């Protein structure tokens, strides 16, 4: 069964510190100069009914670290050795999907057509942070629920990170029950709406939250690694 959540934009919108990081602005004075534009974009995003997400809990039958596989019934997730090693204590997986809806991308495209490039970039960045904030809330709710059952959870991991190819979305989505988020996959396994996230969270008595990010990934082409080291 899919455990669903819906959020108001006011509850999951990024604060100034988050936006400074998302916009890659290291000079606080420069951000202050941009603040009127940021406030204008935020004002157009307040009425957003599309911020929804949740998870389905699936039994984890086997974690094959050597081959980088997780078996859930008849479904095989090819997550790679690194992520599989972080799931070896899992007895179940929370398979999640969360979206901030299409408003952010629609607004960014509108700004682009008008030639308002800063506004377009800001709208896109706000959408990226908003969906992660919403997913943080969902993960916190899952952790509280599992703690009541004397279970622990891992960090969350998504197709497209580390060795888990984005084509793994197909197998992942097959594990998610009818979920009302209306997130779909394109032929190239990209999610629509664009401002969406999906993936897995391990659940188990001995589950651990191990580090993730650049510390677990050695990809030289990852956009997040390039941003971090820029």
DSSP string, 17-47: HHHHHHTT---HHHHHHHHHHHHHHHHTSS-
Other beta carbons within 10 angstroms of residue 130's beta carbon come to 27
- Which SS3 state, helix, strand or coil, does residue 100 take? coil
pLDDT at 143: 97
Residues 6+ apart with CB under 8 A from 193: 50, 99, 100, 101, 102, 105, 183
pLDDT at 228: 44
Cis peptide leading into residue 12 (ω within 30°): no
Q: What is the DSSP letter of 15?
A: -
Distance (Å, whole) CA 209 – CA 97 = 20
Fold observed for domain 2-229: NADH Oxidase (3.40.109)
Per DSSP bridges, beta strands 184-185 and 69-72 are unpaired
Question: Residue 49's pLDDT band (boundaries 50, 70, 90)?
Answer: confident
Nearest CA-CA partner of 99 in 25, 202, 173, 175: 173
Rg of the chain in Å (alpha carbons): 18
The pLDDT of residue 225 is above 80: no
Question: Residue 216's pLDDT band (boundaries 50, 70, 90)?
Answer: low
**Against a cut of 0.75, is the pTM above it?**
yes
Q: What is the dihedral of CA 39, 40, 41, 43, to 10 degrees?
A: 80
Q: What is the dihedral of CA 106, 109, 114, 119, to 10 degrees?
A: 90
**Residues 66 and 21: beta-carbon distance below 8 Å:** no
pLDDT at 212: 60
Farthest-apart Cα atoms in the chain, separation: 55
**Average pLDDT over every residue of 4-31:** 92
Other beta carbons within 10 angstroms of residue 120's beta carbon come to 19
Quick one: tokens of 31? Answer: 């951000």
Catalogue the E-assigned strands of 135-183. 152-157
Average model confidence (pLDDT) across the chain: 91
pLDDT at 27: 85
pLDDT at 218: 55
Q: What is the pLDDT of residues 66-122, one digit of tens each?
A: 999 999 999 999 999 999 999 999 999 999 999 999 999 999 999 999 999 999 999
Question: Residue 224's pLDDT band (boundaries 50, 70, 90)?
Answer: very low
Question: Residue 26's pLDDT band (boundaries 50, 70, 90)?
Answer: confident
Could you tell me what percent of the chain has a pLDDT over 70?
92
């Amino acid at each position: 069964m899919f455990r669903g959540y819906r959020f108001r934009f006011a509850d999951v919108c990024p604060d100034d510190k988050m936006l400074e990081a998302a916009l890659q602005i290291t000079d606080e004075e420069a951000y202050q100069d941009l603040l009127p534009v940021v406030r204008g974009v935020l004002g157009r995003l307040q009425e957003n009914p599309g911020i929804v997400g949740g998870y389905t809990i699936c039994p984890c039958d086997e974690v094959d670290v050597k081959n980088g596989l997780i078996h859930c019934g008849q479904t095989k997730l090819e997550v790679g050795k690194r992520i599989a090693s972080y799931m070896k204590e899992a007895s179940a997986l929370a398979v999640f999907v969360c979206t901030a809806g299409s408003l952010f991308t629609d607004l960014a495209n509108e700004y682009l057509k008008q030639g308002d490039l800063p506004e377009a970039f800001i709208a896109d960045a706000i959408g990226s942070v908003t969906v992660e904030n919403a997913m943080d809330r969902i993960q916190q709710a899952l952790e509280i629920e599992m703690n009541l059952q004397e279970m622990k959870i891992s960090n969350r991991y998504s197709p497209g990170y580390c060795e888990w190819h984005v084509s793994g979305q197909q197998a992942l989505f097959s594990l998610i029950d009818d979920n009302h988020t209306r997130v779909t996959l394109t032929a190239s396994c990209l999610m629509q709406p664009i401002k969406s996230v999906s993936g897995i969270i391990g659940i188990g008595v001995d589950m651990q939250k191990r580090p993730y990010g650049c510390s677990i990934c050695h990809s030289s082409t990852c956009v997040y690694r390039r941003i971090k080291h820029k």
